[in-house]
């Protein structure tokens, strides 16, 4: 019995870096919004250290194209 082709293979899906990055950005945006809404701090990287960002300092992210997420992870 053969399995019908149901789309891209796992290897092909893993190669779609643009789609993966969009999904990760959306997940981070959703997590930040949830933390801000619930009044929970988030851990970020600042000046070589992990620090807690209070909910009132978590940026409001409007949409997926927003690049204003806390940039501390890149420092």
For the chain, the domains span 12-74
Average pLDDT of the chain, as a whole number:
82
Q: Is the pTM of the predicted complex or chain greater than 0.75?
A: no
Query: Exposed e or buried b for every residue in 46-65, given b needs 16+ CB within 10 A?
Result: eeeeeeebeeeebeebeeee
Per-position DSSP letters for 12-43, written without gaps between them: HHHT-HHHHHHHHHHHHHHHHHHHHHHT--EE
> What integer pLDDT is reported at residue 27 of this predicted model?
96
Q: What is the pLDDT of residues 54-67, one digit of tens each?
A: 999 999 876 544 44
pLDDT in tens, 26-46: 999 999 999 999 999 999 999
Q: Which residues are paired to 42 by β-bridges?
A: 53
- 9-22 confidence digits (pLDDT tens): 888 888 889 999 99
């Amino acid at each position: 019995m053969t399995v019908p082709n149901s789309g891209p293979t796992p290897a092909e899906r893993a190669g779609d870096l643009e789609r993966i990055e969009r999904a990760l950005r959306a997940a981070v945006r959703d997590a930040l919004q949830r933390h801000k809404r619930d009044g929970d701090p988030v851990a970020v990287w600042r000046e070589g250290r992990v620090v807690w960002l209070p909910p009132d300092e978590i940026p409001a992210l409007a949409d997926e194209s927003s690049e204003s997420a806390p940039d501390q992870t890149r420092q």
